[in-house]
Amino acid sequence: MSLNRLVLRTAGVTALNNFGVGPFPTLAGPHIYDSKIEPVDSVDKDVAYPMCVIYTDYDRNAVAHRELTEPRSLTITFELLIGILSRDDQTPNYTLNMPVTDSELEASLDIFEFQIFEALRADNAAANVFRTICYGPKQITSRRGATTEGGTKIAARQVTYEADCLPEPSAPTVPSWMAPFLDQLEASDGFDGIGEQLQALYAGGAAVTEMDRIARTLGWSRDTYERLGYPPKPLVMLGTPVTWLNQHGQPL
């Protein structure tokens, strides 16, 4: 399990749907999803369109055992779909409403994609966490797709976002930059206690020293840790102030 991947997707969803409450920053309104199993072109009529699904497809060097600065690369995929399913209250039938021409479909997709990246660049708790975890965008690829089902065209777009990503946390503490987001998530309806669960996962366990954090990041065993001269217990820190002496025993 990767906590950073989970938080990244959750931050992406909440940045795009404003924690499920209006005003919404994109055409999709609240219909932003985390890793739906079925592809967007096979979703049944009980789901409203437009919509966006967020995946984390590739994660390279998630755990580095060589150096503290080993880069980690993550690929986030956004699947966009345009079209709105509506139902007449008098009948059980659904109607698919969408732009008629290809140019209108393409324009709607472009606007939707623009709104997504504007929302991810916004100054709020969710977008700030997204940009903190994925701090170095390296490549963004946008591909257009379309499908025809029952004679009705459905337009979609897949955007892959590859970026450098923070390593997994090595100490049992909630990062200060993440705390406001988790607090807001916990206070929001519709997220089934995920904020509280994430706080418990990040903050769980016993306190560790700075050297313990480094050893965990590098993947050292306890035997390696001790053979390199690091004690198994917390280091004794010098008090302050410290008086430095010269070679004659006199204070500097």
Dump pLDDT digits (tens) for 3-41.
889 999 999 999 999 998 889 999 888 889 998 755 444
Q: What span, in angstroms and rounded, lies between the C-alpha atoms of 62 and 157?
A: 28
Domains of the chain and CATH, by start? 3-203 (3.30.70.1700)
| Among 191, 177, 180, residue whose Cα is nearest residue 32 | 191
More confident position, 89 or 16? 16
- Distance between CA atoms of 26 and 11, rounded to whole angstroms? 15
Buried b (16+ CB within 10 A) or exposed e, 1-36: eeebbbbbbbbbbbbbbbbeeeebbbbbbbbbbeee
Residue 108 pLDDT > 80: yes
Q: What is the pLDDT of residues 149-191, one digit of tens each?
A: 555 556 788 999 999 988 877 667 788 899 999 989 988 887 7
Mean pLDDT of 127-153: 80
pLDDT for residue 97 is more than 70 = no
Q: How many residues does the chain have?
A: 252
Interstrand relation of 32-34 and 51-60 (parallel, antiparallel or unpaired): parallel
